[in-house]
Amino acid sequence: MSRKIALAADHAGYEEKEKLKPTLDELGIEYTDMGTASTDSVDYPDYARKVAEAVSNGEVEQGLLVCGSGTGMAIAANKVKGVRAAVAWNEDIARLAREHNDANVLSLPARFMSDEDAKKVVKAFFNSNFEGGRHGRRVEKISEMEESEG
């Protein structure tokens, strides 16, 4: 069964996003590209929100975001209920984000990674699964924090 994700980038991540599509194809991941479509300047929260909302409402299972540092997209995505976006720049961080934190959105720092490293990080993230156990209790506490907002 194929997994479905949403992906998006701002202007700084556009080229890397496009370069990662063959890697997603190789992994058998179906994706919906939610923009941007060029290197013209855009506001990254707009694109992070599109992906985060698609994850939150169950339209897709996971998300992939790409911006200059990865941080802005992750901060914006994490404002959407049910999203756990993680910035990862190496395979170990990507794998642990999935295994220990049940991250459902990967945010990449395009300006700080080679194309090859970006591919490796994407593979590590999407090939890893949440371990549950003691980590499940911790992730549940994050969800409880979300519920108590307001």
As a whole number of angstroms, the distance between CA 22 and CA 122 comes to: 11
67 part of the active site:
yes
25 part of the active site:
no
pLDDT tens digits for 32-48? 999 999 999 999 999 99
Catalytic residue among 4, 100, 120, 135: 100
How much is the pLDDT for 137?
83
Catalytic residue among 6, 64, 67, 113: 67
As a whole number of angstroms, the distance between CA 71 and CA 4 comes to: 23
* pLDDT at residue 2 is higher than 80: no
Domain ranges of the chain: 3-148
Instruction: Please give the residue that has the higher pLDDT: either 132 or 36.
Output: 36
Mean pLDDT is lowest, of 4-13, 86-95, 96-105, 129-138, for: 129-138
Where does the pLDDT of residue 15 fall: very low under 50, low under 70, confident under 90, or very high at 90 and above? very high
How far apart, in Å, are the Cα atoms of 24 and each of 16, 43, 91, 111, 126?
12, 25, 16, 20, 9
| Average pLDDT of the chain to the nearest whole number | 95
DSSP-derived 3-state class of residue 12: coil
Where does the pLDDT of residue 20 fall: very low under 50, low under 70, confident under 90, or very high at 90 and above? very high
CATH number of 3-148: 3.40.1400.10
Query: Cβ(59)–Cβ(104) under 8 Å?
Result: no
